[in-house]
Structure 1
Amino acid sequence: MEQPDPGAPERRPGNPVVDTIQQLGQTVTPAAESNIFCMTIIGQIEGHIVLPPQNKTTKYEHIIPQLVAAEQNPKIEGILIVLNTVGGDVEAGLAIAEMISSLTKPTVTLVLGGGHSIGVPIAVAGLKSFIAETATMTIHPIRLNGLVIGVPQTFEYLDKMQERVTRFVVSHSNVTEEKFRELMFKTGELTRDIGTTVIGVDAVKHGLIDAVGGIGDALRELNQYIEERKRAVVPGAGVMPQ
């Protein structure tokens, strides 16, 4: 019986080529260091409650340390946030959006597929936002999984949380508060629910997103911000003028 060749790289356990194929579906991954940190926010944003293992999630306790590390790393000059999320935990999503908006390094966001629900504040948190032509964004009021709210204090809490989300979106995009609330409380468009789903061009028309574009447009814009930041550094001081 023919024995397997122990020197065959494709058959040895732990071979990096095999591992790369299994994990990423390709044999070679880009190894060059980049001055841009790419962060992906996909699936459902997980906050205080652990979601079932079959759910594709983005955990906010993973995202926040990465943003802190990117802010502190001198080799990172810009941050690209790519979204394809259905939404999720409101406080966790808002915390991520606040973190992105408070970074001193240039940030650009790109919505691919969808940036729904609490993904909307994250999508507008960067210096400039892009959305793919076929991507969608669902805008609706905050809710508790469709349950009837029977306690006045609970309603007041949700109302204040809704105000926080609205204020953030309006202050970080070109949409007016009146238009955003109109989209949020629109009836008849979503089956058995209230809200609006906007697609690519409509998101730009309403002022939610800055431009329709893809990864090339987002990177081009981010590199321009990086170059502008370099030119704005005061000679000898090492900081940007306020």
Structure 2
Amino acid sequence: MYTLSNNKLEQQPPSAEEAKKSAAVETIQQLGQTATPSGESNIFCMTIIGQIEGHMVLPPQNKTTKYEHLIPQLVAAEQNPKIEGVLIILNTVGGDVEAGLAIAEMIATLSKPTVTLVLGGGHSIGVPIAVASNHSLIAETATMTIHPIRLNGLVIGVPQTFEYLDKMQERVIRFVTGHSQISEEKFKELMFKTGELTRDIGTTVVGPDAVKYGLINRLGGIGEGIRELNRLIEERRNGQSGGLMQ
């Protein structure tokens, strides 16, 4: 709003009603809804969707999650005393291996309780992220694709290239088997299986099978995920108070 003062046009601050209308319009534009849930929470929810973008910027039509956005969020959640737990929701096709491993290591090294929930899919490098938390859940209809490391672009046909690929693959295998109940033999069997995927080596694991193999802790959805996180938060509170009493 503008008013005329001393022959000058001055902008007046918006009224409370105008600010409310502006916020409502912005909410519709950004989220496609007229109202958002309000109230502070002690849980930080982080979503990893689409393709995990690494050092190369993907085309604008791709739905991506940028790892340079997630890492500062996790650091902030770790430092914020009001945040007592982190819920990570995945629906990802995978992406850059090193970026995915960086996110997984960040989640695994948080001091606060963490729960991961795979909805839709947690494929490729999304598998290490899914198992990086204190407790992992997967929806009954969700899937996880386990396959060997792949290279894009120019590949130099020398022994060092294959040694590098093998070392990178071992990093993924070691992380997954170290943060879940699946054995190395079983994980490698799923990774190198032929005949199941039409154009690739590997296996697509559905929710119940992921639990059966020990890859994910149990089946569940958002309600179970929040309940489990609250339980872990309560355990941490009791542990800290017990330590103080001693």
Corresponding residue of 1:214:
221
Distance change in 2, residues 1:122/1:236 (3 Å): closer
Q: Secondary structure at the match of 2:78?
A: helix
- Describe the superposition over 1:183-230 as per-residue Cα deviations: whole angstroms up to 9, x where unpaired: 000000001210000111011111110101000000000000000000
The AA in structure 2 aligned to 1:91 is E
Q: Secondary structure at the match of 1:233?
A: helix
1:93–1:122 Cα contact (<8 Å) kept: yes
Distance in 1 between residues matched to 2:243 and 2:209, nearest whole Å: 45
For the pair 1:109 / 2:134, whether they are aligned, the reply is no
Corresponding residue of 2:44:
37
Distance in 2 between residues matched to 1:65 and 1:192, nearest whole Å: 37
Structure with the greater alpha carbon radius of gyration: 2
Distance in 2 between residues matched to 1:112 and 1:212, nearest whole Å: 11
Distance in 1 between residues matched to 2:153 and 2:138, nearest whole Å: 29
Matches within 5 A, 1:166-181: 166-181=173-188
Q: Secondary structure at the match of 1:219?
A: helix
- Describe the superposition over 1:49-96 as per-residue Cα deviations: whole angstroms up to 9, x where unpaired: 111111111111110000000000000000000000000000000010
For the pair 1:61 / 2:90, whether they are aligned, the reply is no
Q: Secondary structure at the match of 2:201?
A: coil
For the pair 1:196 / 2:203, whether they are aligned, the reply is yes
Distance in 2 between residues matched to 1:234 and 1:35, nearest whole Å: 18
Shift of 1:169: 0.2
The AA in structure 2 aligned to 1:197 is T
Matches within 5 A, 1:138-153: 138-145=145-152, 150-153=157-160
Shift of 1:234: 4.2
Q: Taking structure 2 as the reference length, what is the TM-score of the superposition?
A: 0.89
Shift of 1:155: 0.6
Matches within 5 A, 1:221-236: 221-234=228-241
Distance in 2 between residues matched to 1:139 and 1:88, nearest whole Å: 13
Q: RMSD of the TM alignment (CA)?
A: 2.1
- Choose the corresponding residue for 2:24, options 14, 17, 20: 17
Distance in 2 between residues matched to 1:25 and 1:50, nearest whole Å: 27
Q: Taking structure 1 as the reference length, what is the TM-score of the superposition?
A: 0.90
Shift of 1:25: 1.6
The AA in structure 1 aligned to 2:140 is E
1:41–1:81 Cα contact (<8 Å) kept: yes
Distance in 2 between residues matched to 1:118 and 1:182, nearest whole Å: 17
Q: Secondary structure at the match of 1:223?
A: helix
- Choose the corresponding residue for 2:95, options 82, 88, 92: 88
Corresponding residue of 1:3:
none
1:77–1:226 Cα contact (<8 Å) kept: yes
For the pair 1:46 / 2:18, whether they are aligned, the reply is no
Distance in 1 between residues matched to 2:153 and 2:178, nearest whole Å: 28
For the pair 1:165 / 2:193, whether they are aligned, the reply is no
1:38–1:80 Cα contact (<8 Å) kept: yes
Instruction: Return 5+ residue gaps in structure 1 as ranges.
Output: 1-6
1:149–1:155 Cα contact (<8 Å) kept: no
The AA in structure 1 aligned to 2:52 is I
Instruction: Return 5+ residue gaps in structure 2 as ranges.
Output: 1-14
Corresponding residue of 1:4:
none
